[in-house]
Amino acid sequence: MKSRKLIKRIILGSLWLLAYVAVLGVAVMILWNALIPDLFQGPALTYVQAIGLLLLAHLLLRRGFFYGGSGWRYPHWRRKWRATPDSKCGRSARLEKAVEMVETKIGAVTHYFNHLHVAAVAITDGELRKGDTIHVKGRTTDFQQTVVSIQIDHESVDTAKAGQSVGIEVIEQVREHDSVYKVT
């Protein structure tokens, strides 16, 4: 009995998928043929080419079939949402808070260990302690966090001074040459 229901679900799911692709293929073909030849003197698409374009767009924009999707429901977006408590209050609350804080550059990221979520940071100015709030800012990186652990040569320390290279556990991915600021 269960196998019949499963087979029925698979067949119905396949039919719905084919109908969905067919309708989207027609929509892509109509939109392409209405816009591209007139605006850019491009070629008109056949139905098969429209299905191929639809598949290509899916592969490029959804990171392929095998690597999962990208979107709000995946873990990296959840981490970003939870990392900033002000994100639910709106941008003005974050800006007001930023005006009150003073940031001093203390170093830069020299390496990121992805599997450990640890950034190697070269301290160039000042000192860094456990419990300090840091702001990591780069071309694509921008977040704040409290320093939970500092390590020098795989040994935990409470303070790091200028001239030392330290490992700091971070809540988001960082990149080489990202600047690290101490927030006071």
List, for residues 108-146, the tens digit of each pLDDT value. 999 999 888 999 999 999 999 999 999 999 999 999 999
DSSP class of residue 87 equals: G
Phi, psi dihedral angles at 87 (to 5 degrees):
-65, -25
Closest-CA residue to 99 (of 86, 109, 88, 111)? 86
pLDDT, greater one: 149 or 58: 149
Task: Write out pLDDT tens, residues 15-52.
Answer: 998 998 899 899 999 999 999 888 888 899 999 999 99
Q: How many CB atoms lie within 10 A of CB 40?
A: 8
User: What are the tokens at 118?
Assistant: 């640890």
pLDDT score recorded for residue 99: 59
CB 123 within 8 A of CB 106: yes
- Nearest 5°: CA angle at 85, between 70 and 167? 75
Q: What is the enclosing helix (H) or strand (E) of 179?
A: strand 179-183
Percent of the chain with pLDDT over 90: 55
Q: What is the CATH number of domain 101-183?
A: 2.40.30.10
Ramachandran category for residue 131: left, alpha or beta (phi over 0 → left; psi -120 to 50 → alpha): left
Percent of the chain with pLDDT over 70: 78
**Over 70: is that where the pLDDT of 162 sits?**
yes
Closest-CA residue to 118 (of 166, 155, 161)? 166
pLDDT score recorded for residue 55: 85
Looking at 19-28, 87-96, 138-147, 163-172, which range is the least confident one?
87-96
pLDDT, greater one: 58 or 25: 25
**Over 90: is that where the pLDDT of 65 sits?**
no
CB 43 within 8 A of CB 50: no
pLDDT score recorded for residue 72: 46
Calculate mean pLDDT across residues 160-164.
93
**Over 90: is that where the pLDDT of 170 sits?**
yes
DSSP class of residue 153 equals: T
CB neighbour list of residue 174: distance below 8 Å, 6 or more residues apart: 109, 112, 119, 136, 138, 141
CB 156 within 8 A of CB 112: no
User: What are the tokens at 168?
Assistant: 């700091």
